[in-house]
Structure 1
């Protein structure tokens, strides 16, 4: 049933891509920057840019499986743009975001992309690895607008226009297993559980755990689940019977909370570590909260929102002032970081007097030592590679802003250094 569902999703995405690509082609005679020219200020412009404004698109999930993340990412980007415009914008132009909520629905995601693509310069947000992968051929072939997705699958590497910020899921999982080996007692000969979503995200993470296990002499006990599976009782029972000494979870926050809560209840008291998409601080207010603080860790592509850095402290203060009713989480960091990277590319393109899609793409390639203020330096000069191979390890802690403290500073494991992403 799971495989049939996966094939149906793939077939649906393929059919929708064909339809949306046809619709996009019929709406314009050419692709990319054919609507542009040169302004009175001598700056070349193209789609999404005129003398007054730069239009950017946001394809988010505010009502689906990643609703909490989508809201935080979007609000952080709105905050960044508001501050950027208050400082004069880019090339004398304001930056404007057009937001579409796809609710993690493939048809809505692809329809949203088709609607916005002709109107915007690029996308500082596109949530959902499967959806971004579905439009990759179109982005690279005819559209050529910069996309900075909130997705870390290695399948997105290799595109000059879709650029992954931080380590991919496979590398992140290798770093997570390294943490378990070095600091949580996992040893050669042990069994490592891995609970993962079917599809691009979970299966890319699984490649990482398999590789790390092969290098360290571990055995991986696999448990594939669907995004609609919220009760992890059966998976925990299977992992306990198998005698696992640690567990990796590549799923959503709800699945991670269920797994850790059930494991604690049945006395499977082993360390559990999730990928960066598998935690939300709101979980600490649930019954699983105490177990999460004791047993759970998360590998992330940056330090958390509660990090002790000047940028993090300022962002916390600014976000709280702008959205006093909303909780802090690492979606704020992801959204802010992507908007900042896009903003830096825009500023460089402005200096080069080329605010076309091609000009912004070239500008991004020059950011080879970008520090977003969250503990890592990013290199965007090679489209074949993620911008970083480092991962920080964080631990849930309700006493810290954002609900997580740093358990291990950003680093890349020896195994991750030698690994080819997507391999």
Structure 2
């Protein structure tokens, strides 16, 4: 992974917080222990299982840069839990989702993890690659708790407990650039821009664009930004002056909307493609909407919420019934997929009569082809690899459910298939 001074400084600050957090005592459930105890029916249980309840954690962003994503992910997971419990739960236990909003703030993310960890069997949600990376040492060492993050940094690979769902940002970016070359006329010798967040997310994506550029004979013109940077005027000016023929953006929806809008207003007519977390359909109702529909694309780890599959249509209907005032977006897919994968692991662990953290993690490792109806099967058997190398290329379209249509079906570029993540 490529590192910068800013990223190292942020990591250092988070590490300091972790030292303090690690000093707090870990509360254990009275009926559980590190090795688990046999409950009714001979099912072994441990942390996060108390009385007749299994508690899962969700560390989300409801008020920060990914507030739209966080709300959709969380509500989709609450819907999944409600339906799971209505169907009888797991091993006779009801499942409960305990939610904390960190607002995309590092201190709140670390303190939220420290608060929830002793109380949960695992985490069905953890938004923010830098924050997940910050607790990785504790997750792998003393806590040994399963985390299914809404984060796709290659730095998270290799952990037996943190399992990335879908292609990591570096692979996703390679598939994005491959689309630009095959569908948008980018060729050897061209320059492409890359606007990216400092830290694990942006730098993981940048590693991907640098790698495929080296393979394809492209030059990457880099523009690093912070999550608090919302006006992309300077970045557009720099990339236009550099003569780039296309732009990749690895940031949030606000930054993507500004980038596309500013480029369009200045007559800078080049295709722009973002990583999966760089779009929200609510942007189509803003001034940037027409430009997004014309020149913007998204590389996604799954089909969109409006996919033409029975599972997608059922989820749309169920979500609309549960949250009639809220819009549909791909955060719903991400949240539902992670909760479903965790639920599948719980069911397998139940069948093995081991609902301890170790039992659930072992169960997830046995799942080699998991698809909840959104086009890409996930393989969780190798902790050193993402669960998929495929991406679907989407384009904003306000006329379709969820505001995104498919313009290239799921696939992995040759460069992505041959690449070793994190290398």
TM-score normalised over the length of structure 1: 0.97
Residue 24 of structure 1: how far off its partner (Å):
4.1
Residue 23 of structure 1: how far off its partner (Å):
1.2
Residue 21 of structure 1: how far off its partner (Å):
1.4
- Pick which of 234-243 and 32-41 moved more: 32-41
Residue 8 of structure 1: how far off its partner (Å):
3.8
- Kept in 1, the 8 Å contact 2:48–2:118? The answer is yes
- Kept in 2, the 8 Å contact 1:39–1:51? The answer is no
- Kept in 1, the 8 Å contact 2:397–2:403? The answer is yes
Alignment of 1:30-69 (within 5 A): 33-34=33-34, 36-69=36-69
Residue 33 of structure 1: how far off its partner (Å):
4.6
Residue 4 of structure 1: how far off its partner (Å):
6.2
- Kept in 2, the 8 Å contact 1:33–1:357? The answer is no
Specify the SS of the correspondent of 2:40.
Answer: coil
- Kept in 2, the 8 Å contact 1:35–1:47? The answer is no
Hey, what's the Cα distance between the residues in 2 that align with 1:156 and 1:406?
28
Cα distance, 1:356–1:198 mapped onto 2, change above 3 Å: same
Equivalence for 1:157:
157
- Kept in 1, the 8 Å contact 2:28–2:47? The answer is no
- Kept in 2, the 8 Å contact 1:61–1:103? The answer is yes
Specify the SS of the correspondent of 1:81.
Answer: helix
Hey, what's the Cα distance between the residues in 1 that align with 2:198 and 2:338?
26
- Kept in 2, the 8 Å contact 1:146–1:162? The answer is yes
Structure 1 residue 263 corresponds to structure 2 residue 281: no
1:357-415, CA deviations, whole angstroms, 9 ceiling, x for partnerless residues? 00000000110011121000110000000000000000000001110000111100000
Residue 202 of structure 1: how far off its partner (Å):
0.4
- CA-atom RMSD, angstroms? 1.5
Equivalence for 2:247:
247
Equivalence for 2:21:
20
- Kept in 2, the 8 Å contact 1:188–1:218? The answer is yes
Residue 36 of structure 1: how far off its partner (Å):
3.4
Equivalence for 1:188:
188
Hey, what's the Cα distance between the residues in 2 that align with 1:78 and 1:233?
39
Equivalence for 1:216:
216
Hey, what's the Cα distance between the residues in 2 that align with 1:24 and 1:172?
39
Specify the SS of the correspondent of 1:159.
Answer: coil
- Kept in 2, the 8 Å contact 1:56–1:124? The answer is yes
Structure 1 residue 234 corresponds to structure 2 residue 240: no
Equivalence for 1:84:
84
Equivalence for 1:10:
11
Residue 11 of structure 1: how far off its partner (Å):
2.2
- Kept in 2, the 8 Å contact 1:33–1:356? The answer is no
Hey, what's the Cα distance between the residues in 2 that align with 1:144 and 1:250?
30
Residue 28 of structure 1: how far off its partner (Å):
6.3
Alignment of 1:85-164 (within 5 A): 85-164=85-164
Specify the SS of the correspondent of 2:59.
Answer: strand
- Pick which of 34-43 and 253-262 moved more: 34-43
Cα distance, 1:402–1:24 mapped onto 2, change above 3 Å: farther
Hey, what's the Cα distance between the residues in 1 that align with 2:203 and 2:166?
18
